[in-house]
Structure formats: C-alpha cells, structure tokens
Amino acid sequence: MAPRTRILDAAMLVFRRHGFRRSSIEQAAEAAGLTRQALYHHFKSKEALFRAVIERLHEEALAAEIAAAGAAEKQGGSLADILVASVSAKLGQLAASLDGSPHVEELFSEHLLQARDLYQKYAAAYADQLDTTITRVCRKQGLALNAGMTPRDLARCVEMAVNGAKSAYPAMQPAGPFLKDLEIMLRTLIAGAVGPAKPPRGAKPKPAKKTDQKADKKSTRKPGDRR
C-alpha cells in the first residue's frame, strides 16, 4: 500500500473516532504506523490532511455515481431509475464513509469550513455529471423535458431536492430513511419534468396500417356459411 493511501486510511479512522477538533497529527501518524516527522513529509498540517481526506471522499462518491448510472442504464432503467440510482450511490457513499461516527455533524460542518473550495468544486462536478446523464438518457430513450426545461435545469432541481432532503436529515442520518424519502422526491420531480419527445415540425404522422379486408371477411364467416 502506498504511504499516502495508508495515511489517508489512518486519518479517516482518527477523524471518525475523535472528530476534527480533537484529532491530531500525532494520532494520525500513530494509526498509520509512522513518526510525526514522516507524516509531515506528506502533509504539512492537520488541516491539509483533513482536506485530502475530504477530497478522496468526493472522488469516491463521484466514481460511485458514474458507475451506478451506467449500471442502471445497462439494465434498461427509466430516467427516474437512473437518476435515483446515481444520486443514491453518491450520497450513500458519503454517508457510509462516516456512518457510526459520533462526530458526523461536526465533520460535515468542518468540511465546509476547512474545504469550502473543494465542496464547490465537487458540487459543480456532480452537476456536470447529472447534466451529462440526463442529456444522454433523454436522447437514447426519446424523452423531452417539459416547459422549456434544459438538462442543466433538471440537474439543478435534483440538487435542490437533495438539499431539501438534507434539511430534514442533518448530516444525512439515518441514511436509510434519508435515501428513501429522497427517492420519493426525485421520482415525483422527474415524473413531472419529462415526457415523450415531440416529432419535428413539418413531420407527417404515419398513416394507419390498412387492414386486409379479405382476411377480415374470412375471419367473420361462421361455420356453415356458403362461400
């Protein structure tokens, strides 16, 4: 295992156990089996170490989102199925990383204080990924967004639904009920946002298929009727 990976794994355990404020570089170094000086070779401060942990969490969450969207799409899921799977995977990954820690709310709070730029960076990355997924799925499945909405608009609405669910579940805990309520919100939102794609202007409707009159007459004959 690479030294940086070992340090981040150890730091995650320390932050989960003690929270950010009560954790120290010495604790992280001991958990990683390193001296304090060796850890300082990789990270100059506790804040820098915490930021690296947060960045890795976001990278893992983004990868989980992309993988879940791809899997749901391969299984023939609807747009709602695909978006619910991708968003749930992302948030589930983040929630699971801190699950069981008595300092979850503190860690999320410090996340915004110590790494607000990372929060903004990955919020934009998540929005871009949603936009890309919505655009691709609508094109493949022949869907159109209602009321002049764009894929970016729908992605923004999805994020607002996530934020609304978070307000009812601080730090996304408990994770199970949080994700269940979020799924209900997302499916309701998406059901009202999409419909079948409209045919291009000037396109003539396809003529109805002509029925075979002879076949129809033959099928209506009763036994014993003369030919």
The Cα–Cα gap between 82 and 141 comes to 12
The Cα–Cα gap between 32 and 9 comes to 8
Contact present, 52 and 9 (Cβ < 8 Å): no
Residue 23 main-chain phi, psi, to 5 deg: -85, 160
Give 188-221 pLDDT, tens digit per residue: 999 999 988 665 555 555 555 555 555 455 555 5
Contact present, 123 and 186 (Cβ < 8 Å): no
Alpha-carbon distances of 105 from 78, 170, 171, rounded to whole Å: 34, 7, 6
Give 116-170 pLDDT, tens digit per residue: 999 999 999 999 999 999 999 999 999 999 988 999 999 999 999 999 999 999 8
User: pTM for the whole thing?
Assistant: 0.82
The Cα–Cα gap between 167 and 170 comes to 6
The Cα–Cα gap between 46 and 11 comes to 9
